[in-house]
Each structure stands twice: as C-alpha cells, then as structure tokens.
Structure 1
Amino acid sequence: MRKTLLLLAPAALLGACTWGITLDDGGKQVRTAWSGDVSSCRELGKVTVSVMDHVGPVDRNDIKVRDELEVMARNEAAKMHADTIKPLAEPSDGSQPWGAYQCGAAAPASAAPAGSAAPAAPAGGAQTYPIKGG
C-alpha cells in the first residue's frame, strides 16, 4: 500500500502542473472570440497548438489543458500580428486548431479585451471569470 502511494504521488503532482505555459506580452493583446462573428475580420491563417493532456496513464485536468491551449494560441497568433483568435474545433488528444484574425476596431461582439473582467462564454455555454489581472 505504501509503495503504491509513493508511485502515484509524482503522477498526481505532475497532473497539477501548468508546464510553464504563460501568456507573453504579445499574447495579452490577442482576444478570444469564442462564438463571435469574425466575418468582418481579415483572416491571417490557422494556428494549431498542442499540450500534454495526460502524464502516463493519468489524464490532466481538462480545464487546465483548455486554458493552456488558449494561452499558446494567443501567443502564436501575436507572432502573426493577429489581434483575435477563434477555436476551429474542440480539443482532441491535447491539440486544437485556432483561426487567427486581424479585426482592429471591428472586434467580435463576444470577444472581451485581454485583462477585462467581462466573462468569456465558450461554445459549451459555461462562463469563466478571471481571478487576477493579466
């Protein structure tokens, strides 16, 4: 019993890690249009990002995986000079495609500016609220 706990403890701790994925300065300027209309925006391309969704046999927290995918997509879109991203599909095996757009003043109505206190509503209907600035 004791040996089993010692073997499972590192896997459980690794499952809680954020893997050092942080929003860089460019990514902070990129909005996420969860269900907004981006038809008035200029499409710059597609970004596909991926993270580890499991460590060995242990699945990582789905919310953390989704958050990390969004952060990585915003960072990559900033390198393309995009100011808005929109998910093109649901995450699958730790990977997700995103559209990168340049909307300027014509930002999608449902896209909240980075760092705002407005909730973002993903396709599933759940709302998220930032707990700290940035």
Structure 2
Amino acid sequence: MKRMLSIVLLTTLSACTWVKMDEGAGQIRVAEGSDLSACENKGTVTASVRSKVGFYERKDMKVEEELETMARNSAVEAGADTIQALSEIADGEQKFGMYRCR
C-alpha cells in the first residue's frame, strides 16, 4: 500500500509545473537557429531544474518547458526580448543567450 501511494504521489508530482511564468515572459521570443547578429547581446543565463524526483526521471518535455520558462523570466529582468538555447540539456541544466532584437 505504501509503495502504491508513493508511485501515485511521484506520478502526480511529475506532471506538475514547478516554474511559473513571470509577467511579460510570455512576450519573449524563442529563436531556434536564427541569425541574431543584428541583435544586442544582453548576456547569458544558465537555467536549472530538477530532472529527477527521487528515483523517478521527469519527462524530458516538462524539463525543457521549465528551463525555457526560467530563461524567459530571466530575459525580462535583463531587458531582452529574445532567447536562444546555447547548449543541450544536461542534468536539468541548459544555457541560454538573451538578446534585444526589436
């Protein structure tokens, strides 16, 4: 019974989004393979979330969404309007560039 409860709890938690989007972050553009040379570089940010909860591996898509949300939140604070992934996701971390293009 305890084991079943643990499994249900972990499954429920894995579906939760722990990172909330800040005001204005929804307006941040995510550039994929774009030429950003005409944009002002506003710096980089390394976003980090849990990729595991106990022994349970979180879904890659959920981790990716949360990392992007964290990068968008940071971009708002930096005065950027565009982000671009600069690295692959590794152990729940990903590096993003922040740019002002508009």
User: What TM-score do the two structures reach when normalised by structure 1?
Assistant: 0.72
Letter in 2 for 1:16: A
Structure 2 residue 90 is the aligned partner of structure 1 residue 92:
yes
**3-state DSSP class of the match of 2:33?**
coil
Q: Normalized per residue, which structure has more helix?
A: 2
Q: CA deviation at 1:4?
A: 2.6
Q: CA deviation at 1:6?
A: 2.3
1:40-99 Cα offsets, whole Å, 9 max, x none, are 111110011111111000011110110111111001011000011000011111111000
Please give the alpha-carbon distance, in whole angstroms, between the structure 2 residues aligned to 1:24 and 1:11: 26
What fraction of aligned residue pairs are identical, expressed as a percent? 45
Structure 2 residue 54 is the aligned partner of structure 1 residue 37:
no
Please give the alpha-carbon distance, in whole angstroms, between the structure 1 residues aligned to 2:64 and 2:6: 27
Q: CA deviation at 1:15?
A: 1.2
Query: In the TM superposition, what are the counterparts of 1:7-86 in structure 2 within 5 Å?
Result: 7-19=6-18, 21-86=19-84
Coordinate RMSD, CA, aligned: 1.2
Please give the alpha-carbon distance, in whole angstroms, between the structure 2 residues aligned to 1:52 and 1:31: 24
User: What TM-score do the two structures reach when normalised by structure 2?
Assistant: 0.92
Point out which structure has higher relative CO (alpha carbons under 8 A, 6+ apart).
2
> Which runs of 4 or more aligned residues in structure 1 lie more than 3 Å from their structure 2 counterparts after TM superposition?
none
Identify the range of structure 1 (50-59 vs 6-15) with the bigger mean alpha-carbon deviation. 6-15
Q: Normalized per residue, which structure has more strand?
A: 2
Count of matched residue pairs = 102
2:3 corresponds in structure 1 to 4
